[in-house]
Amino acid sequence: MQSERIESLDDPRLDIFRQLKTTNATRDSRLFVAEGTTVVERVLKSGFEVRSVLISDRKFAGFQERLPQDVPILRLRQELAEELVGFVFHSGVMASAVRRPAPPPRDWIAPTGRGLIVAGDRVTDPENVGALIRIGSAFGASGVVFGDGSADPFSRRVLRVSMGNGLFLPIVETADLRSYLEMLIRDFGFRLCLTVLDPTAQVLSGFRFPDRTILVLGNEYDGISELVRSLPADRLTIPMLNGTDSLNVAISSGIFLHQYRSQYPGV
């Protein structure tokens, strides 16, 4: 294990971990930072190239047996670690790793048979992006696609909320969600199911999902964009009582995906 105590915050090896509460420089640098015992362990097992692990002295004693032998381990005093990252460093451990390009569709989509894909159209809240990944994984989605304007699916917050499920599930970011969905429909035989707030839409409980479904969830404030809404699709809604006009994106996705999986118990 290449463990080294760092005594100065001027060390350039710490740059990727600086002021993480207020910045997300990792999106442009093509790196990502994972935080917390569970997520860091999953990064180490994921096959992603890990550049370094940052760990506080307080955490090191109980975590050192799980640290890799071939990755630089940067040890800091707790107070220095907190000054570096910009918040109270309760978890005590982080890892930086290299992002991968999104896999080509043919690498993760079966050519025939049942299939489920989750798509997020301009989902801006990192908590919701992380929840969509985690819920999609839980209900057997083949992958999750995010359109332009969505939060970074490999940000520290998203990875924490998703519990690292995006490390093992294909995640696609596209600047043109409509074109990507059209390709999935044309080349792989999927049908779109749009989640909408519309009294004329089909009620979820009475709907039979297609074998090959793309479930699209929209922006937290104005729903699915007009560009995507204009595609041929089934439009689905969840009836609500007591004057409730909407549900959180993550909660909605769980309801829709549970309904799909109830109809198709096998993956």
- 63-88, pLDDT tens digit by residue? 988 998 899 999 999 999 899 988 88
Please give the DSSP secondary-structure letter assigned to residue 170: -
User: pLDDT tens for residues 169-183?
Assistant: 999 999 999 999 999
Classify domain 2-98 at the CATH superfamily level.
Ribosomal protein L30/S12 (3.30.1330.30)
Q: The whole model's pTM is what?
A: 0.93
Residue matched to tokens 């080294």:
4
Residue ranges, comma separated, of all CATH 3.30.1330.30 domains in the chain are: 2-98
3-state DSSP call for residue 49? coil
Q: What is the pLDDT of residue 25?
A: 65
Q: Which two tokens stand for residue 176?
A: 């043109």
Of the candidates 122, 138, 133, 136, the one whose C-alpha atom is nearest the C-alpha of residue 158 is 133
Q: Position 182: which residue type?
A: E
The SS3 assignment for 226 reads helix
Pair of tokens at residue 46: 């994921």
Please name the helix (run of DSSP H) or strand (run of DSSP E) that holds residue 261, with its range, or none.
helix 249-263
pLDDT at position 21, please?
72
Ranges of the chain with pLDDT below 50 = none
Contact 109, 208 (CB under 8 A): no
**β-bridge partners, 235:** 194
Q: Residue 57: how many CB atoms within 10 A of its CB?
A: 14
Positions of CATH 3.40.1280.10 in the chain:
105-263
Q: In angstroms, rounded to a whole number, what is the distance separating the alpha carbons of residues 260 and 252?
A: 13
- pLDDT number for residue 11: 93
Tell me, what amino acid is at 241?
A: L
Tokens of residue 229, six digits = 């809404």
- Which backbone phi and psi does 95 adopt, to 5 degrees? -135, 145
Residue 195's SS3 state is: strand
Pick the CATH number of 105-263 from 2.10.260.10, 3.60.150.10, 3.40.1280.10, 3.40.50.720: 3.40.1280.10
**DSSP secondary-structure letter at 152?**
-
Report the helix count and the strand count for the chain, using DSSP H and E. 10, 12
